[in-house]
Amino acid sequence: MSTVAHPTALGSIVEYAAGHWPARTVPICRRTTPTQGRALEILGHAVEYLADSRLYDPVEVPSDGTAIRTLMSCSRQVFAECELIQPWHQRVQTALLWRRRAQKIPGR
């Protein structure tokens, strides 16, 4: 039995050997208006309904997959329009990193 993990699960062996692991992702927090919140809720329920109906229907209909992708795209667009919230510690960290990078640039 192999002890090497699947490359897509934990990163490739080459990345491990080179010490180049993918950067950690920071959760994105957004503030929604009541209208945006309701839209996200409705779109989420619609996606769930279509996905659940596909589980029990033996006939696969390609238009269901298209509908799910369309609803998910609409949900991402609504989410992207919401106001971005960045905690104070992240704002300070970002400012310090930008300042540090500006100091390291030669010729400035």
Give per-residue pLDDT as tens, 74-104: 999 999 999 888 788 878 888 888 888 888 7
Higher-confidence position of 24 and 72 = 72
CA dihedral sign, ordered 39, 80, 22, 11: positive
* Distance, CA of 96 to CA of 39 (rounded, Å): 37
79 near 41, Cβ under 8 Å? Answer: no
The answer on pLDDT for 7 being more than 70 is no
Instruction: Say yes or no to pLDDT of 60 above 60.
Output: yes
User: If you search the block for the tokens 């180049």, which residue do you land on?
Assistant: 20
User: Between these two residues, 13 and 107, which has the higher pLDDT value?
Assistant: 107
Of the chain, the percentage scoring pLDDT greater than 70 comes to 72
Rg from Cα positions in the chain: 21
